[in-house]
A and B are shown apart, each in its own frame.
Chain A
Amino acid sequence: MIPSHLKSSVGDSKEDAGFSAFGLGLELERRGALESLKVEVMASAIVNATTAVVEWASMAFDAPFADAVVFGVHVDGHLVVEVLLIAVILFQLTRKSYKPPKKPLSEKEIDDLCEEWVPEPLHPPITEEMKVEPPTLESAAGPHTVIDGKEVVNFASSNYLGLIGNETIIDSCVASLEKYGVGSCGPRGFYGTIDVHLDCEKRIAKFMGTPDSILYSYGISTIFSVIPAFCKKGDIIVVDEGVHWGVQNGLYLSRSNVVYFKHNDMASLESTLEKLAHGNKQAEKVRRYIVVEALYQNSGQIAPLNDIVRLKEKYRFRIILEESHSFGVLGNTGRGLAELYGVPIEKIDIITAGMGNALATDGGFCTGNARVVDHQRLSSSGYVFSASLPPYLASAAVAAVNYLEDNPSVLMTLRRNIHLLWEGLSDVPGLMIVSDPLSPIVFLKLKNSTGSLKNDLELLNKIAERVLKEDSVFIVSTKRSVLDKCRLPVGIRVFVSAGHTESDIKKVSESLRRVATENL
């Protein structure tokens, strides 16, 4: 009866301690055995008692039902218990659960709330900057214009080809005005389509080398109507962070997922595309677009189209290219960014442009393959729900495109002027040129920014004002609205035109140098 572990613990060396431990162990052993015996007896007694009770209970229950048979089922006692339980459950289910009572507001309470509510004023407090009025021109906005009775050299109009004041264009406009009047008095779907519109669309398509194009009645509405027509909820758009408000509004209205990449940074674009391509498993169903401007009006940079096309083909995206400031300017014959980089025009899916810049008219167009253009005729809101372009502006556009095709040398003049301006402005203290050497928007940024956009803008405005007042040269600084999300630095924009002479360019460089030295 001695357990084996006690046996082995008995050692030879420590006999005395071991002997007493051994004795204690035996004593405990004996007590433990007695205890367990007692417990065993008690347990069996309880079990016997319970069994007896259960048997008696079941007998007591079964006895009255012993011979009861309901619907062919022999009724046992446990069935009664189950039926009772089910009844209790059903009863609880039918009770209403406790919810705190929801009282709607009474009419008087609503009246009180309406009384108390104070709306914000319709406009925020008017600051001094808001009261500043721009200078008023008193003649055409050509290379020389008249402000306040004085003749000034005009570097504030994006009249890149110098077409303001061109006799051929004005003659075609006069003919158009006499035949068609000024407005077209209707949207395109309801007798607002005049044959000059159709001619203009064909002419632009022929010039660009695409199957068809579509005319819009306002430059800025082109891009913010095209993007929502093709991009819907759930589509993915990768866009440069320096795009202008028109593009931003189009992206917002499209309700797609928009991802920005760093301004004109191809490495950032590639990493963004890589991330998106990996994350997305249902890539087949979702349309993916890259939206870039050919020539950014917020910084004068030119987008590297060959890199973008390579990335687009690798990751299966489509390109929407905004060419407002590059149409008629870039490329050997003015056909835009695709010609500059030697990319075949079919690789760019959608091209949009406003005609208010190089073509010296108003309105915009969008071009691409036939499916792209046809889709917009019913689903682009700025085309369907708005009056069409005044016919004289459409004939001005046709005349301008004809002029550009017949005189590609005007682009050489423009390029020469830009080059001269770069030379003249290269050593202006405090200002540095950040635009591309090919860009007709020469963008000058402050070398040492004051830190806040507002102060920078104040300083630049002062410079522009002084240049106008003292030297009769009209230049402008960046204008930004509070609704604009673009955070690129502000600067002075000098718009070079092919109509400027060498002396004009010298004048603006000297003037800027002088005023910048004094102020910065």
Chain B
Amino acid sequence: MVRLPYSTALTTLFSYGLLFAFGQLRDLFRKIIDWFKSSSEDLKGYAPICLGLEDFYTRRLYLRIQDCFCRPIASAPDAWFDVVERYSEDSNKTLHRTSKTSKCLNLGSYNYLGFAAADEYCTPRVIESLKKYSPSTCSIRVDGGTTDLHTELEELVARFVGKPAAVTFGMGYATNSSIIPALIGKGGLIISDSLNHNSIVNGARGSGAAIRVFQHNNVAHLEKVLREQIAEGQPRTHRPWKKIIIIVEGIYSMEGELCPLAEVIAVCKKYKAYIYLDEAHSIGAVGKSGKGVCELLGVDPADVDIMMGTFTKSFGSCGGYIAASKEVVQYLKDTCPAHVYATSMSPPAVQQVISSLKVILGEDGSSRGSQKLAQIRENSNFFRCELKKMGFEVLGDNDSPIMPIMLYNPAKIPAFSRECLKQNVAVVMVAFPASPLLLARTRICISAAHSREDLLKGLEVISKVGDLVGIKYFPTEPPKHETKVYKVE
């Protein structure tokens, strides 16, 4: 939970108020100037494509700090990468690329196990499959888009996750958006966590079912909502709900917190609701052998009705999967629009997932997989611990490789980002609309590819910039006195 000091809240609100006021003033001047200039004949009779209020945030707030987002890179998103330098001649309205790049420490990409760059086991196999199958099959899965690679991947994913069967899609976002409408429709109820990802929200809206929200990670509130809803039934007609699905995520990407899965499953079993677990950030990254939150929290995968995950984060590829019982997977293969209407996953990407899964499982004949898993756990815990000692407000649970550091004040967003970039550390800023308006933060993603020196450099720079910008909201822990060790010759 975020603990916001009152003075910080006041100053943040004041800053936003000031920005808002200036924005409105500039809009007013813009309107006056436009009134003098006549509008072009072509646009007469058409309503503007974006109404004034809708993109107020974009024009007046986001554009000022546009250089902190969408930074292009010119190399693989590994532990160190090349960030392209950009300049602007009209105070950030348009940014131009230069051909200069600067090598920076990557604390922003989702590269949990270090498969992002060329890997000694995966890359040769990927190139081989590219030459054999071409970059795309140009066909939907149910027509001519299923190759033997796809079947192999589905079996491997099902085995890895611990479910009887699995089906894979070419994009993680499209997985959520098209699976949820296939599972539940009008007359059903979806209860989802308040901080769920946009793809889940879109999928839930597209399904036509009623949606209720429970407070983030609050199992007591979930139970209360469930009881009320089952007792009341559908709105107005009070008929009983056809089915109820509860959607939670393994690790929440903006908080770094794990979900209390065991308690949620207990509640679901008691009230006969189905549970849908989105493991986009946790599969491959947590758990002793990388099998996700189920392994970490000691939950049997058979208790979770539907497990969803993506291949973008830990496996260095693209796409998503759903693992469930054989019948559910058969039904989904027949109905799900992402399977029936969308181009199948690109074969080299499929091969990348197969190879990385084999490395994680140890089936490539080496112990690199378990090394990587141990490395990321160690890195995450060390980094989090050190940041907390320095006095930053860090969110997230232990073992989770995502650590958001709270900034709050809007002016600190560009300050932190630019200062870090000057010292060759690339961090990610999260502002509205990805997070609530007053709770801006910077998010660190640790990778198994980071060595101890990389982490120490990162800590040093963040500490310096943190002092400069003033985000150490908690008192620092004094360094422990080192005991002198006398060597006896």
Contacts and interface: CB of A to CB of B under 8 A. Distances in A.
Interface of A: 105, 109-110, 113-114, 117-120, 122-124, 126, 129-131, 133-142, 145, 154, 156-159, 164-165, 169-170, 173-174, 177-186, 188-195, 197-198, 217-221, 224, 230, 232, 244-246, 249, 252-253, 283-288, 316, 318, 349, 354, 356-357, 360-362, 371-372, 375, 377-379, 381-382, 384-387, 389-390, 392-393, 396, 474, 476, 479-484
A374 to B, nearest CB: 8
B170 interface: yes
B47 A249 contact: no
B73 A371 contact: no
**B71, B78, B315, B337, most chain A CB atoms within 10 A:** B337
Interface stretch (B146-154, B293-301, B389-397, B398-406): B146-154
Nearest to A375: B50
A121 B142 CA distance: 25
21 contacts: A117-B272, A122-B305, A139-B132, A141-B134, A170-B130, A182-B317, A185-B313, A186-B108, A190-B428, A191-B77, A191-B81, A191-B83, A193-B72, A221-B171, A360-B138, A381-B202, A382-B173, A384-B434, A386-B172, A396-B135, A479-B143
A178 B118 CA distance: 6
Given A130-B333, A182-B348, A387-B312, A191 B173 contact: no
B230 A113 contact: yes
Contacts of B146: 133-137
Given A114-B227, A182-B317, A138 B147 contact: yes
Given A119-B242, A218-B174, A140 B132 contact: yes
A249 B206 contact: yes
Which of A154, A192, A230, A284 has its CB near the most chain B CB atoms (within 10 A)?
Answer: A192
Contacts of B195: none
Given A113-B231, A387-B312, A362 B136 contact: yes
A482 to B, nearest CB: 5
A49 to B, nearest CB: 63
B143 A483 contact: no
B377 to A, nearest CB: 19
Given A113-B230, A157-B139, A178-B123, A220 B342 contact: yes
Contacts of A230: 49
B35 to A, nearest CB: 17
A120 B231 contact: no
A181 B353 CA distance: 12
A110 B231 contact: yes
A231 to B, nearest CB: 10
B321 interface: no
A362 B170 contact: yes
Interface in B100-122: 106, 108-111, 115-119, 122
B318 A177 contact: no
A181 B84 contact: no
Interface string B276-308: 000000000000000000000000000001100
A481 B337 contact: yes
Given A130-B330, A140-B134, A177-B348, A183 B316 contact: yes
B448 interface: no
Contact of A177 (B55, B72, B123, B139): B123
Interface string B6-26: 000000000000000000000
Interface of B: 45-47, 49-50, 54-55, 58, 62, 69-78, 81, 83-84, 97, 106, 108-111, 115-119, 122-123, 126-127, 130-148, 150-151, 170-174, 177-178, 181-183, 197-199, 202, 205-206, 227-228, 230-231, 240-244, 271-274, 305-306, 310-313, 315-318, 327-328, 330-338, 340-343, 346, 348-349, 352, 426, 428, 434
Nearest to B111: A185
Give the 7 A-B CB pairs with smallest separation, nearest first.
Answer: A356-B343, A156-B144, A218-B171, A386-B173, A123-B331, A220-B342, A316-B45
B77 A114 contact: no
A107 B305 CA distance: 28
Contacts of B346: 361-362, 390, 393
A109 B231 CA distance: 8
A482 B16 CA distance: 48
A356 B138 contact: yes
Contacts of B312: 183, 185, 387
Highest count of chain A CB atoms <10 Å: which of B71, B144, B198, B346: B144
Given A174-B131, A385-B197, 9 more contacts: A110-B231, A123-B328, A126-B327, A130-B334, A134-B145, A157-B138, A158-B138, A182-B318, A197-B72
Contacts of B141: 134
B109, B228, B231, B318: which has the most chain A beta carbons within 10 Å?
Answer: B318
Contacts of B272: 117-119
B49 A174 contact: no
Contacts of B130: 170, 173-174, 177, 392
A178 B327 CA distance: 40
B134 A170 contact: yes
Contacts of A284: 45, 47
Contacts of B142: 134, 479
A390 B69 contact: no
B116 A185 contact: yes
Q: Which of A169, A283, A284, A356 has the most CB of B within 10 A?
A: A356
A480 B199 contact: no
A476 B426 contact: no
Given A193-B70, A221-B177, A137 B148 contact: yes
A197 B123 CA distance: 21
Given A113-B230, A221-B177, A249-B206, A185 B110 contact: yes
Contacts of A316: 45-46
Contacts of B46: 287, 316, 318
Contacts of A481: 182, 334-337, 340-341
B144 A119 contact: no
A177 B50 contact: no
Contact of B135 (A142, A287, A362, A381): A362
Given A136-B148, A140-B133, A372-B49, A195 B72 contact: yes
A318 B331 contact: no
Nearest to B306: A122
Contacts of B336: 481
Nearest to A282: B47
Given A159-B138, A185-B116, A318-B46, A198 B72 contact: yes
A283 B337 CA distance: 35
A192 to B, nearest CB: 7
A445 to B, nearest CB: 18
Contacts of A133: 146
Nearest to B280: A387
Contacts of A174: 127, 130-131
- The winner among A110, A357, A378 for most chain B CB atoms within 10 A is A378
Given A157-B139, A183-B116, A387 B328 contact: no
B317 A390 contact: yes
